[in-house]
Amino acid sequence: MVENVVKTSAVNSAAEKKAARVRAFIFFTAGMAGLLFGLDQGVISGALPFISKEWGLNSQLQEWVVSSMMVGAAIGAIVASILSSKIGRKKSLLIGAALFIIGSLGSGLAAGVTMLISFRIILGLSVGIASYTAPLYLAEMSSKESRGKVISGYQLMVTVGILLAFLSDTALSYSGSWRMMLAVIAVPAVVLILTVFALPDSPRWLAAKGRIKDGRRYCILCMLIKKWQNRNYQIFKKP
């Protein structure tokens, strides 16, 4: 009997470690959306002086180059509220990452200020989608005890993204390559889009779509089903 208890304890310990790794992967991957937000916010400050010098931009055009991203972000956040409900949080993150790659590479290859502003708006769309969807997904994939820490981690990733953008701009400022400054931030977006494929769908969204078994399976995978006892997750409890 003692031997059985030891074996059960070992199995539970292994399951907990596996679940911890799964949760860490989920939180890191979704948190990378915050990194992209920070990168896009920070990178333009280093690139703008070189862009203005090369194209002779006046103050009004400089304002458009900077603020166009926020215009796209506002639209993206509205779109994300519909997307995340219709197709799910995971696919919404994929769309956001894909738009980020298009926007950053397009900005780096822009032939003129109008094209640059257009791609900056696309970048804003991606940021708006990610900044709405990622915290929502993280909240639904974390227990109520850890939810505050997880969302704070997302905000930390935004700050880290700004820092990395400043460091990247500083390194590239010696060559004056503003195109590389704007294009290089596509790299973490590629990493995000590859890792998002491995993310599970949100159990909350699956339940809303009537996929109860799938939702419960992901809860068990992350070992969260015992902790999700609030009324939103009563649906996953066994009768």
How far apart are the C-alpha atoms of 118 and 95, rounded to whole Å?
A: 18
Do 229 and 150 share a domain, yes or no? no
- Tell me if 199 sits within 8 A of 90, measured CB to CB: yes
pLDDT of 46-66, one tens digit each?
Answer: 999 999 999 999 999 999 999
Place of tokens 């409900």: 85
- What are phi and psi for residue 208, nearest 5 degrees? -65, -25
Whether residues 124 and 174 share a domain: the answer is yes
The reply to whether 189 and 209 lie within a common domain is: no
Q: Name the residue with higher pLDDT: 27 or 39.
A: 39
**Residue 15 domain-assigned?**
no
- Does pLDDT of 182 surpass 80? yes
Do 223 and 168 lie in one domain? The reply is no
Query: In this predicted model, which residue has the larger pLDDT, 29 or 130?
Result: 130
pLDDT > 50? residue 144? yes
pTM score, two decimals? 0.82
Domain count, the chain: 2
> CB-based contacts of 56: which residues, under 8 Å, 6+ apart?
none
Cα 204 from chain centroid (whole Å): 18
Which letter, b or e, does each residue of 93-105 get, where b requires 16 or more Cβ atoms within 10 Å of its Cβ? bbbbbbbbbbbbb
Determine what percent of the chain is predicted with pLDDT higher than 90: 43
Would 8 be classed as within a structural domain?
no
Q: Which domain holds residue 217?
A: 201-238
Residue 234 to residue 239: CA distance in whole angstroms: 10
pLDDT reported for residue 210: 78
Same domain for 193 and 205, yes or no, is: no
**pLDDT per residue as tens digits for the range 85-133:** 899 888 999 999 999 999 999 999 999 999 999 999 999 999 999 889 9
Please answer whether residues 129 and 92 qualify as being in contact, where contact means their C-beta atoms are separated by less than 8 angstroms.
yes
The CATH code of the domain that includes 162 is: 1.20.1250.20
Average pLDDT over the chain, rounded to an integer = 82
Percent of the chain with pLDDT over 70: 81
Judge if 193 and 230 occupy the same domain. Answer: no
